[in-house]
Chain A
């Protein structure tokens, strides 16, 4: 009986996932965190299978359109808020026009039939202290980098997100796979600092 009560009492502590609720902002590539942690890779280095890029005048960023998570999360000073609830973790961007809002569903897999969308369909699961997010179902409207690297509707993103340095930072590692558009999968890493400040209105005015 005692063991049973203790088990119930401490079960939430044993099974608890890390608390990642809060506001975070990507740090500069120039910063090195304790333990030598620093940003690595850049979407600019991505190798395309066909080498095709789109004209800069069609840049979704300049049109106040969503730019897709792969490009958005790599940008310096990107500010996000993570709002976990039982069935999902919602990632909200301060720059709503470009980043929008990403629901990451925790209690289901990808639907068998997916209507392509700007942000795709994201499902997540916890692997110890790491949130692993798998996203497919993108349309082909966003770019992978500022130079206009195209992707196809076969793009798949696998993101690994975990708190580091006592929860003061998030480590964000993403791999993009797209057998139709990319010569090989590409991975970059960014660190996001936890902030005390709140997210403000950030309105897209002609692409700024």
Chain B
């Protein structure tokens, strides 16, 4: 009778130790994050690369001629899908004003952005691969794998409707986003090293860092409804639709 109990006892200790050491192996970054300010990063040795609108200076010189021409012909208000509360893709909000919930699940990580109507929700599927022909979407298809304490995220399958940033820089469905994510500053920040490639729109890839501050456990992400004022929304939406119809006539 003693032997099975001893085995169970030993197994229990092993399991407890394993659990304490983290069989999960990977850090859990679940929480609420906001784009780190200069003041929050002061003294940490980290800083945002090309912060704010300066990111345009990193992207615009790399645009291929057709992409630059498209950018110059774009109307910053009428052509901005975000103005009519439609999604505006993954490249803008997270780099400019990112506030998000990081929800770490068994086989996926969910990034739910505060600006949910425009930035939406990203799902990073762990230990998975991209489908052969992903349906083009605003936020693309993301897969992730852990390399020690760094999460490597690869995203493809974008539609070509969003901009690379606020300068209205276009991209194609070939856009490829490569991110290296890790916790830094003893877990106070999430560092995301971002590389964007698009062989049809860019002459070369560009890379930059963004830091997000982990908020205290008591902090909550507030509800953010884009379309609070339906009358204004309708005006913008009607103007955008009119322009779209006009363009389709031009193409014909």
| Residues of the A chain whose Cβ atoms lie less than 8 Å from the Cβ of B233 | 63-64
> Chain A contact residues (Cβ within 8 angstroms of B): what range?
35 or more
| Residues of the B chain whose Cβ atoms lie less than 8 Å from the Cβ of A66 | 225
Q: Which residues from 107 to 150 on chain A have a C-beta closer than 8 Å to any C-beta of chain B?
A: 117-119
Query: A86 interface residue, CB < 8 Å from B?
Result: yes
Partner of B230, one of A9, A63, A92, A101: A63
Contact in complex: B12, A117 (CB < 8 Å): no
Contact in complex: A86, B223 (CB < 8 Å): no
Shortest C-beta distance, B122 to chain A (Å), equals: 11
Partner of A87, one of B12, B137, B217: B217
Contact in complex: B223, A118 (CB < 8 Å): yes
Query: A2 interface residue, CB < 8 Å from B?
Result: yes
Say whether, besides A64-B233, A100-B225, A203-B86, A92 and B121 are in contact (CB < 8 Å). Answer: yes
Contact in complex: A9, B223 (CB < 8 Å): no
Say whether, besides A6-B8, A8-B16, A96-B121, A201 and B138 are in contact (CB < 8 Å). Answer: yes
Q: A66 to B30, alpha carbons, bound, how many Å?
A: 26
Contact in complex: B217, A203 (CB < 8 Å): no
Q: Which residues from 57 to 71 on chain A have a C-beta closer than 8 Å to any C-beta of chain B?
A: 58, 63-66
Query: B77 interface residue, CB < 8 Å from A?
Result: no
Shortest C-beta distance, A10 to chain B (Å), equals: 9
Query: A55 interface residue, CB < 8 Å from B?
Result: no
Interface 1/0 per residue, B79-113 and A, CB below 8 Å: 00000011100000000000001011110001010
| Residues of the A chain whose Cβ atoms lie less than 8 Å from the Cβ of B104 | 85
Q: A83 to B107, alpha carbons, bound, how many Å?
A: 11
Q: A103 to B233, alpha carbons, bound, how many Å?
A: 26
Shortest C-beta distance, A203 to chain B (Å), equals: 6
| Residues of the A chain whose Cβ atoms lie less than 8 Å from the Cβ of B8 | 2, 5-6
Partner of B12, one of A5, A63, A81: A5
Contact in complex: B103, A90 (CB < 8 Å): yes
Query: B123 interface residue, CB < 8 Å from A?
Result: yes
Say whether, besides A64-B85, A83-B103, A118 and B30 are in contact (CB < 8 Å). Answer: no
Contact in complex: A6, B116 (CB < 8 Å): no
| Residues of the B chain whose Cβ atoms lie less than 8 Å from the Cβ of A76 | none
Contact in complex: A65, B223 (CB < 8 Å): no
Contact in complex: B112, A90 (CB < 8 Å): yes
| Residues of the B chain whose Cβ atoms lie less than 8 Å from the Cβ of A81 | 110
| Residues of the A chain whose Cβ atoms lie less than 8 Å from the Cβ of B49 | none
Partner of B5, one of A2, A63, A100, A199: A2
Shortest C-beta distance, B207 to chain A (Å), equals: 27
Shortest C-beta distance, B7 to chain A (Å), equals: 12
Q: A119 to B230, alpha carbons, bound, how many Å?
A: 17
| Residues of the B chain whose Cβ atoms lie less than 8 Å from the Cβ of A6 | 8, 12
Nearest 7 pairs between A and B by C-beta? Answer: A63-B230, A5-B12, A201-B137, A117-B223, A83-B103, A9-B12, A85-B30
With A101-B121, A199-B121 known, 6 other A-B pairs at CB within 8 A are: A1-B9, A63-B234, A65-B225, A101-B112, A198-B123, A201-B120
A-B contact pairs, 20 of them (CB 8 A): A2-B8, A5-B16, A6-B8, A6-B12, A8-B12, A58-B230, A63-B227, A63-B233, A66-B225, A81-B110, A83-B103, A85-B104, A85-B105, A92-B121, A96-B117, A97-B117, A100-B116, A103-B101, A105-B220, A199-B123
